[in-house]
A and B are shown apart, each in its own frame.
Chain A
Amino acid sequence: MTAETTDHAGAASTHSAPPAPGSPLEQTGAYRGAAVLGWVLSQHRRALLLWGLAVAVVAAIYVSFYPAMGDTGELEALVEGLPDGLIAALGYDGIGTAAGYLESTVFGLLAPILLLVFALAFAARLIAGEEESGELELELTAPVGRRRVYLERAVALAIAVSWLGVVTGTVSLLLVAALDLEVAAWPLVTTTVGLILLVLAMAAISYAVGAATGRRAWALGAGAGVAVAGYMANALAPLLEDGAWLARLSPFAWYLSEDPLVHGLRGAGAAGLLVVAVVAIVVGLLAYERRDLGV
């Protein structure tokens, strides 16, 4: 972390006569380093640790359950009693295998929900929430450009989401190895990347809407709306006769289709999620640089 870097830029000129307008001396005392990023992370370090712990515990519990349930065929027997459509909607098609079990529990449902709850709230708070409360004013009136504030805080969001994704992946990987489950390491790593990209895409939408409007509620609503719609589209698509088009629209399908824990994350799916995240961040920035702040 390069936080709290203190450069003494142009210190020699600081105490001389006031610089003429437009002279290069105007840059004196300008911002360097990544103090905004460091500050945001240090302000939320406790929340990040606690969320990491929660995600680790949930992942550990679910992975450790598999030998007791899935391996004995009990889960499969349970699921067989359900209607085919419901099985497809829940993604339980492959629940009898370790990879299928992990995909329908940890990576397909619990981790996305936990990470999204944290990430959407965090994204909505980082710009819109702190603008509404007024906390951002001192940062934005300091010699730090709006773009800089926006991008450093976006990086903080990406780091936070990646951290929770990495915790999920690492705990799963360790337990899969410890319990000797039949899940290959590489697909698990790429699925973890997919999980991070999925959550980042939704969080980027919240972040961007928050930056464009300055309203925390709208930011939360936009991200949560896309997440719920995307999840529903992915769950309902298998039930429809020609549901493939619906699944193609869903970020959840980009991440989960074709069993990433068996075959690895699809490149096209990963690219789609990345594009959503980047486009959202760019559009949010353009709007943020043009609007009135704190109104």
Chain B
Amino acid sequence: MSADTVIRTEGLVKAYGSGNRRVLALDGLDLEVQRGEVFGFLGPNGAGKSTTIRVLLDQLRPTAGMAEVFGRSPVDGGVGTRARIGYLPGELAMGGRASAGELLHHLTALRGGRGAERIDDLAERLTLDLDRPIRGLSKGNKQKVGVIQAFLHRPELLILDEPTSGLDPLLQHEFLAMVREAQADGATVFMSSHVLSEVESVAGRVAIVRAGRIVDLDEVATLRHHAGQRIELRFDAPVEPAPFAALPGVSDVEVEDSTLRCLLRGEPDALLKAAAGHHVTRWSATDRELEDLFLDHYRMPVTPEEVADDDR
């Protein structure tokens, strides 16, 4: 193992229950995250993302296989390992009469006081009112508290479970800036999401997890290319589908009267030029989401045209 591997799992299995009711939350998960990268951990709800993360933090004990953080198992590394991690839980629960500021000061006290001096700055940056009691905070404001406590002590490893849920777009933007800054400072970031667009602007590599296994692992740009875009073009008169279907990167062409829908992977140039031969009255392009990627993964076998398109 390289000394620069921050997170590593091999054949990680986590089972709950026994006999007929045995459920595999993780089913042989292999993962390797290198120092300094922002790693996206993507999958639908229930795929095993949070289970993996909670094994890394020694909340859950693996049934089989191994997990290492900074070269040690979460159990052996214990307190020393967790001192180097900042963690944002996926389901953040906080309550009580304490104010947000009091809670954040308490959480830094659990780390020997590290990061207490940054509380005011980060609260201002995310526009969190530190004097309000936790129990009265909205979901979005609680999420801000969660984000702040994860970043406060400038951890070497940030583990962020669905970090942008509950944050409005402006704050998502600020949050992503914080992730980039942490990376620039040398931190490793491991963030989970069920939406590709949430991680794609910051993540380098992305692993896709489904049913407790990694089903795909690639650069985020490659995944985006695989996912492609849904294109809809409306013309002033009905068109023939055949010329469009023959274009490079275009597939799944459907024509309904004067409206053409298709799937585009790669550059739109050829499609736009072909469309320009007609009178276009309306057009839209939508990035496909992760759900569509999963559909592709399970739509076997892949058609030869698609393979040809992807290998271009």
Task: Evaluate contact between B149 and A26: CB separation under 8 angstroms.
Answer: no
Q: Does A74 contact B (CB under 8 A)?
A: no
User: B106 contacts the other chain (Cβ, under 8 Å)?
Assistant: yes
Kindly identify, within residues 208 to 259 of chain B, every residue whose CB is under 8 Å from any CB belonging to chain A: none
Q: Which residues of A contact B11 (CB under 8 A)?
A: none
* Contact, CB under 8 Å: A6 / B113: yes
Q: How many A-B residue pairs have CB under 8 A?
A: 120
Residue interface bits A116-150, CB-to-B below 8 A is 1, else 0: 00000000000000000111011111111100000
A-contacting 9-mer, from B38-46, B70-78, B294-302: B70-78
A8 touches B112 (CB 8 A): yes
User: Majority SS of interface residues in chain A?
Assistant: loop
B227 shortest CB reach to chain A, Å: 33
Residues of B close to A42: CB separation below 8 A: 98
Q: Judge whether B54 is part of the interface by a CB distance below 8 angstroms.
A: yes
Q: Is the CB of B3 within 8 A of A20?
A: yes
Query: Measured between alpha carbons, how far is A7 from B112 in the docked complex, in Å?
Result: 5
Rounded to whole angstroms, the CA-CA distance of A10 and B194 in the bound complex is 39
Task: State how many residues of chain A have any CB contact under 8 Å with chain B.
Answer: 43
CB distance from B48 to the nearest CB of A (A): 13
Assess A29 versus B83: contact at CB under 8 Å? Given A6-B112, A46-B97, A143-B110. yes
Do A143 and B79 contact each other (CB < 8 Å), given the known contacts A32-B112, A46-B97? yes
User: Which residue of chain A has its CB nearest to the CB of B70?
Assistant: A21
Task: Output the nearest chain A residue to B134 by Cβ-Cβ distance.
Answer: A135
Which residues in window 124-158 of B have CB below 8 A to A?
A: 149, 153, 156
Whether A33 is near chain B, meaning CB under 8 Å from some CB there, is: yes
CB distance from A242 to the nearest CB of B (A): 45
Q: Which residues of B contact A29 (CB under 8 A)?
A: 83-84, 111-112, 114, 153
Chain A residues closer than 8 Å to B87, beta-carbon distance: 138, 141
Name the A residues within 8 Å of B111 (CB-CB): 29-31, 142-143
Nearest CB to that of A133 among chain B residues? Answer: B93
CA distance A39 to B104 in the complex (A): 12
B94 with A141: CB separation less than 8 A: no
Q: Are B106 and A134 in contact (CB under 8 A)?
A: no
- Interface residues in A257-285 (C-beta closer than 8 Å to B): none
Residue A72, interface by CB 8 Å: no
Q: Are A33 and B82 in contact (CB under 8 A)?
A: no
Looking at chain B, what size class is its interface with the partner chain? Answer: 35 or more
* In contact, A26 and B95 (Cβ under 8 angstroms): no
* In the complex, A183 has a CB within 8 A of chain B: no
Give A145 to B80 CA distance when docked, in angstroms.
Answer: 10
Beta-carbon contacts under 8 Å, A1-49 to B: 4-9, 14, 18, 20-22, 26-33, 35-36, 39, 42-43, 46
Q: Does B166 contact A (CB under 8 A)?
A: no
Beta-carbon contacts under 8 Å, B41-92 to A: 54, 57, 59-61, 70-72, 77-85, 87, 89, 91-92
Chain A residues with CB under 8 Å of B92's CB are: 134, 137
Report chain A residues within 8 Å CB of B106.
Answer: 4, 35, 39
| A32-B3 Cα distance, complex, nearest whole Å | 29
Given contacts A26-B83, A140-B59, A145-B78, contact A31 B89 (CB under 8 A): no
B116 within 8 A of A: yes
> Which B residue's beta carbon lies closest to that of A290?
B61
Chain A residue numbers with a CB within 8 Å of B61 are 290-292
Closest Cβ neighbor of A43 among chain B residues: B96
Q: Across the interface, do A9 and B59 meet the contact criterion of CB distance under 8 Å?
A: no
Assess whether A246 is interfacial by the CB under 8 Å rule: no
- Mask, B260-300, CB within 8 Å of A = 1, is 00000000000000000000000000000000000000000
Cβ–Cβ contact A28 & B83, under 8 A: yes
Are B91 and A144 in contact, with the CB atoms below 8 A? no
Chain B residues with Cβ below 8 Å from A68 are none
Tell me whether B105 is interfacial, beta carbon within 8 Å. yes
- The contact of B98 among A43, A140, A143, by CB within 8 Å, is A43
Q: Are A22 and B71 also in contact (CB < 8 A) when A46-B97, A141-B82, A294-B59 are?
A: yes
Q: Using Cβ atoms and an 8 Å threshold, which residues of chain A touch B112?
A: 6-9, 29-32
A294–B89 CA distance with the chains assembled, in angstroms: 12
Q: Complex Cα distance A243/B87, Å?
A: 57
Which residues of B are found within 8 Å of A33, using beta-carbon distances? 109
Question: Contact: A21 with B72, CB < 8 Å?
Answer: yes
**Which of B71, B78, B80, B108 is packed against the most chain A CB atoms within 10 Å?**
B80
Residue B171 at the chain A interface, CB threshold 8 Å: no
Inter-chain contact B79/A134, CB cutoff 8 Å: no
CB of A38 to closest CB in B, whole Å: 8
A135 & B93 in contact (Cβ 8 Å cutoff): yes
Is B60 within 8 A of A142, CB to CB? Answer: no
Contacts of B98 in A (CB 8 A): 42-43
Q: Which 5 A-B pairs have the closest CB atoms?
A: A134-B93, A6-B113, A21-B71, A26-B80, A143-B83
7 A-B pairs in the complex with CB atoms less than 8 angstroms apart = A27-B83, A30-B83, A32-B112, A133-B93, A135-B96, A145-B79, A293-B54
Contacts A31-B79, A43-B96, A143-B110 known; 20 new A-B pairs at CB < 8 A: A6-B108, A6-B113, A18-B35, A28-B83, A28-B84, A28-B114, A29-B112, A29-B153, A30-B79, A42-B98, A133-B95, A134-B89, A137-B59, A138-B107, A139-B110, A141-B59, A141-B85, A142-B110, A144-B110, A295-B60
Q: Spell out A's residues near B (CB within 8 Å).
A: 4-9, 14, 18, 20-22, 26-33, 35-36, 39, 42-43, 46, 133-135, 137-145, 290-295
